[in-house]
Homo-oligomer: A and B are copies of this chain.
Amino acid sequence: MTSTLRKNLLALAGCMLFAAGLSVAAPQKPVAPLVIQEQGSFAVGGTVVQSPGNYDSLNLSSGGQTLHGDHARVFYQVPVKARKLPLVMWHGFGQSTKTWESTPDGREGYQNIFLRRGFATYLLDQPRRASAGRSSVATTISATPDDQRWFETFRVGIWPNYFPGVQFSRSPEALDQYFRAMTPDTGPIDTNLTSNAVSALFGKIGAGILVTHSHSGGMGWLAAMKNPRIRAIVAYEPGSGFVFPEGEVPPVMPSAAGPLEGVGIPLAEFMKLTRIPIVIYYGDFILNEPVPNPGQDGWRVRLAMAKQWVDAINRHGGDAKLVLLPEIGIRGNTHFPFSDLNNLQIADLMSQFLAEKHLD
């Protein structure tokens, strides 16, 4: 090979790598159709309350009526020749099934990605959120502008700047879609009630894998303790509700976002979490040392608590793993790795985990 040819080939290879890098960020058009054997939706879990009195049809404000509320709502799709275990995807705070659907910049999210990989997907709105809005407890919803706070708490950047190298589209339209994914609670969040509903979901559909995000991380541990049909948990950036055996709760961790406390539970309950494989992923831009920005600093202590939690699980004979993405060379991820620009790479990690644990 001549030196010139070699140089040209190297230049060509560089172009191809550059193009491959670009293609991660460019909107994908699905290459093949999704072949869905069955899809639909249903409510699961929930409560029924009744007002006093006898019902009178002719009285427009009659008592003696029921309220069916506090259920989760689930939209499911089962691909043809589905793998044995379905994926149940549970959004985080202020979010809905939208979390797993199209990304803010219009690429495919986990719903489509894992359907393409042969998994049935069950996307849920937790009780008192989005389409599962009927609540047995009244509430007030404020209209206080807080987009900038979430931009920082979700680690896209420090407003108005994006973090350098963040895996988030710079298009204004993507940011607009991102902000519009937020949807309020229609009643108080009740972790017992939400975890009951998710347990009931597995009661209905059978064994499966629970995928949680942020606030549902802690509620996911509760659901798994309630129902052994939860065969594994993939937790993206759990943010609260770390349960420890009583007597093993770590000290409170102060941060600019407020103090983070572990939750003590009976050892026998905790031990149920040692029977299933659990993997936890955190993204980038989480610092080791305190910083004044509350949005960013909160993740410092959540990550620290998660590390202690994984140690506790494994110390008691369990199988938990924490993956800090930058530590394995994957940089730029926000609080939403599964919808970030590199979400196919993030999905590959999850696929590898499921394969290693013989869950696919």
Which A residues are within 8 Å of any B CB, using their own CB?
A: 29-30, 33-43, 46, 49-51, 55, 57-58, 60, 62-69, 71, 73, 75, 80, 96-98, 101-102, 106, 108-109, 112, 125, 130-149, 152, 158-159, 176-177, 179-184, 186-187, 256, 292-295
The residues of B that contact A140 with a CB separation of less than 8 Å are 138-141
A290 shortest CB reach to chain B, Å: 13
Which residue of B has the minimal Cβ distance to A29? Answer: B38
Cross-chain contact of A148 among B65, B135, B180 (Cβ < 8 A): B65
- Cross-interface CB contact of A136 among B97, B102, B143, cutoff 8 Å: B143
CB distance from A141 to the nearest CB of B (A): 5
Given contacts A43-B180, A148-B55, A294-B58, whether A69 and B112 have CB atoms under 8 Å apart is no
Given A131-B98, A183-B131 in contact, is the A145-B39 Cβ separation under 8 Å? no
Bound form: Cα–Cα A176–B60 in Å: 22
Residues on the B chain within 8 Å of A131, using CB = 96-98, 125, 130-131, 183
User: Given A41-B101, A138-B142, A177-B43 in contact, is the A148-B71 Cβ separation under 8 Å?
Assistant: no
Number of copies: 2
Q: Answer whether A181 and B133 are a contact pair too, CB < 8 Å, given A55-B159, A143-B69, A143-B138.
A: no
Q: How far is the CB of A139 from chain B (nearest CB, A)?
A: 5
* Given known contacts A130-B133, A294-B60, A71 and B149 CB-to-CB distance under 8 angstroms: no
Contact B294 A147, beta carbon cutoff 8 Å:
no
Contact (A58, B292) CB under 8 Å given A134-B184, A186-B184: yes
**Given A68-B176, A143-B69, A40 and B294 touching (CB < 8 A)?**
no
Residues A39 and B71 in contact in the complex (CB < 8 Å), given A66-B145, A180-B46: no
Report yes or no: B145 in contact with A40, Cβ–Cβ below 8 A: no
Contact B138 A138 (CB under 8 A): no
Q: Show 17 A/B contacts (Cβ-Cβ < 8 Å), sorted by A.
A: A40-B112, A42-B177, A57-B293, A60-B149, A65-B145, A65-B148, A65-B149, A69-B143, A96-B131, A98-B131, A130-B130, A134-B182, A137-B143, A138-B140, A139-B140, A140-B140, A141-B141
Complex CA gap A108/B41 in Å reads 10
Question: Chain B residues with Cβ under 8 A from A75's Cβ?
Answer: 75, 101
**Chain B residues closer than 8 Å to A137, beta-carbon distance:** 143
> Chain B residues near A66 (CB, 8 Å)?
145, 147-148, 179
Instruction: Note all chain B residues with C-beta closer than 8 A to A71.
Output: 180
How far is B115's CA from A31's CA once the two chains are assembled, in angstroms?
Answer: 19
Shortest distance from the beta carbon of A294 to any chain B beta carbon, whole Å: 6
17 further contact pairs, Cβ within 8 A, besides A33-B80, A67-B147: A33-B36, A34-B36, A35-B36, A41-B102, A42-B106, A46-B180, A55-B148, A55-B159, A57-B293, A57-B294, A66-B147, A69-B180, A133-B133, A133-B183, A134-B184, A135-B141, A183-B186
Contact A39 B34 (CB under 8 A): yes
Known contacts A33-B35, A67-B144: A57-B158 contact under CB 8 Å = yes
- Give, as a whole number of angstroms, the nearest-CB distance from A87 to chain B: 16
Task: Kindly identify which residue among B50, B133, B183 contacts A184, using a CB–CB cutoff of 8 Å.
Answer: B133
CB-nearest residue of chain B to A51: B145
Nearest Cβ on chain B to A40's Cβ, whole angstroms: 4
Are B292 and A183 in contact (CB-based, < 8 A)? no
